[in-house]
Chains A and B, each alone.
Chain A
Amino acid sequence: MTIRTRLTFWYAGILTASLLVIGFGTYREIDERLRHEHHREPEEHALAEAGEMIFQVGLPAIVLGLLGGWWLTRRALAPMTKLTDAVEKIHERNLREPLPRTGNNDELDRLTDVFNGMLARLDDSFNRTREFTLHASHELKTPLTVLCGETETALRDDSLAPAERERAASLLDELRRLTRIVDGLALLAKADAGQVALKLEPMRFDELVRDNFADAQILAEPHGIRVELTACEEITVRGDRHRLRQLLLNLADNAVKYNQLRGWVTMSLRRAGDAAELTIANSGPGIPPEILPRVFDRFYRGDPAHSQAVDGCGLGLSIVQWIVSAHKGSVKIESMPGISTTVTVRLPLGANR
């Protein structure tokens, strides 16, 4: 029950009660007067007269009171509704926008001020975390450059014993992996801080998908995985070519990596309403339902046993999610454990714009 309904009922109750008091007073008064004038007339007469008065005056008063009360509470609570709508729109990106004050300096304004103060503090700590990640990823790049460079220099030394060479090469592989993680982290940190500008232009998404399909086939071949492109409609979207290709390759690579030997991958691109809908499904081991909501989280690895077997940086899907949202699209993953996993990406159409 809303505050408004509750207040109106209380209001109506109080009105009715006061009306009854007035009615009772009137009845006593009339009864007294009748008794005085006519010396003991029947009580019913006074009751009828009082009832009539209440009916004639009280009922309209109650109706008016109810309507007035309804209107009054609505007026009083309107800033509350506005505040609720404004608070509802808050997410980590627009913490800086203050909630609107009514300007009446009332209790609600105080509440708004308290909210704004809290938002500013939240924004501050979000920014600190973001900046920390950004700086950390930058700071890591220089030592990583040195490490990679020194290791590569060592590998170029022809006098290196085969065992040493193998060790250096394996070190270099890990360094490359670390580099990819740092790169991914830097990209996401920059995206969070709104520092990545996308170069949006109309482009044939189907051509990118076809291109990606060819790469996916090549990636899948060593694992005996069959890749099919079941549909590829001619679709134009407004997008950043490099980022969309990164999105496609990430998804295709995942579909091949998290799969089974001699499994399958199907890709399709269709028009669905005012969006381009890309689906990539595979015969992967699937994702348990309790893990599904977290697969886009950075560095989240559902199954610790699994994470060892598959080489990845743990940021692929987070990057996918960022690319999709930067294109004002949506992405979702559905999975039937043991049977298949389907990723659906929807991007707004960009034709004739």
Chain B
Amino acid sequence: MRVLVVEDEKKTASFVRKALQAEGFAVDVCHDGDEALAAARATPFDGIVLDIMLPGRDGLSVLRQLRERKNATPVLLLSARGEVNERVEGLNAGADDYLPKPFELAELVARVRALTRRSGENKSTVLRVADLTLDTVTHRAQRDGADIELTAREYRLLEFLMHSPGRLCGRMMILEKVWDYDFDPGTNLVDVYIRRLREKIDANFQPKLLHTVRGSGYLLKEAP
């Protein structure tokens, strides 16, 4: 998987590159819009992380140019302004996702992973992690053959986590996808739900599947 990171702020570009490389992505970095456009034309990337505020040609203009040229590479927009209108404008211009600055690194990595994995996904309706299964049609959760009662929200949270087993899921991304919140509420809502979910799927079973990564997020996986 090859990703292009377009960010004029050198330090930000550098740690984004490191984080994505650590996840196994090949990463190219550009610092301005025209350079990015040329790079995107020359190389077929699997995803582009695009900052809106760039010297010269701005991110939205780069995005529009790409889409005009029928380049459908998934794009994650980054913005320091973080306005609701800007999000809508970006998505209308053809962006696939939008992340306001300052963002959490885990968040960005999770989103890039989600973008680049669109096609060729496991289409099965039954999700499975170790002996935990979730039927996305009947909404039935089982561990080791025993039924687990879940509330609607718990179900959505579990489904979200099970869609990317072994991968770190950021708190903001969970709030956005499970709660449909576009703001950071500053509450420990996610932690509390995770705790409840853990009681249901992990308390009476071994091995533990739901893990908290301090400062980053949560992940569901078999080995600790």
Residues of A within 8 A of B (CB): 138, 141-142, 144-153, 155-156, 165, 168-169, 172-173, 176, 179-180, 182-183, 186, 190, 195-197, 199, 214-215, 218-219, 221-222, 242, 245-246, 249-250, 253, 312-313, 316
Chain B neighbourhood of A219, CB < 8 A: 187-189, 192
Q: Indicate if the CB atoms of B81 and A138 lie closer than 8 Å.
A: yes
Residues of B within 8 A of A (CB): 9, 11-12, 15-16, 18-19, 22, 80-85, 100-106, 151, 153, 179-189, 192-193, 196, 214-216
Choose among A169, A179, A221 the residue that contacts B215 (Cβ–Cβ < 8 A).
A169
Q: Indicate if the CB atoms of A141 and B84 lie closer than 8 Å.
A: no
Instruction: Give the interface SS of chain A, mostly helix, strand, loop or mixed.
Output: helix
Q: Indicate if the CB atoms of A250 and B215 lie closer than 8 Å.
A: no
Q: Indicate if the CB atoms of A149 and B106 lie closer than 8 Å.
A: no
Choose among A179, A186, A214, A250 the residue that contacts B185 (Cβ–Cβ < 8 A).
A250
A319, closest chain B residue (CB): B183
Q: Indicate if the CB atoms of A246 and B16 lie closer than 8 Å.
A: no
Chain A neighbourhood of B188, CB < 8 A: 219
Q: Indicate if the CB atoms of A150 and B15 lie closer than 8 Å.
A: yes
Chain A neighbourhood of B183, CB < 8 A: 183, 242, 246
B182, closest chain A residue (CB): A242
What distance in Å separates the Cβ of A43 from its nearest Cβ neighbour in chain B?
93
Chain A neighbourhood of B106, CB < 8 A: 152
What distance in Å separates the Cβ of A324 from its nearest Cβ neighbour in chain B?
16
What distance in Å separates the Cβ of B110 from its nearest Cβ neighbour in chain A?
12
Q: Indicate if the CB atoms of B12 and A142 lie closer than 8 Å.
A: yes
Q: How far is the CA of A96 from the CA of B162 in the complex (A)?
A: 55
Choose among B105, B182, B186, B192 the residue that contacts A153 (Cβ–Cβ < 8 A).
B105
**Can you sample 8 A-B contacts with CB below 8 Å?**
A142-B101, A152-B104, A155-B216, A156-B216, A173-B215, A214-B153, A218-B192, A246-B183
Q: Indicate if the CB atoms of A148 and B102 lie closer than 8 Å.
A: yes
Q: How far is the CA of A141 from the CA of B18 in the complex (A)?
A: 20
Q: Indicate if the CB atoms of B181 and A246 lie closer than 8 Å.
A: yes
Q: A169-B214, A199-B84 are in contact. Are A152 and B9 (CB under 8 A)?
A: no
Chain B neighbourhood of A138, CB < 8 A: 80-81
A190, closest chain B residue (CB): B83
Q: Indicate if the CB atoms of B102 and A145 lie closer than 8 Å.
A: yes
B191, closest chain A residue (CB): A222
Q: Indicate if the CB atoms of B80 and A146 lie closer than 8 Å.
A: no
Q: Indicate if the CB atoms of A153 and B101 lie closer than 8 Å.
A: no
Q: Which of A141, A146, A149 has the most CB of B within 10 A?
A: A149
Q: Indicate if the CB atoms of B185 and A246 lie closer than 8 Å.
A: yes
Q: Indicate if the CB atoms of B187 and A249 lie closer than 8 Å.
A: yes
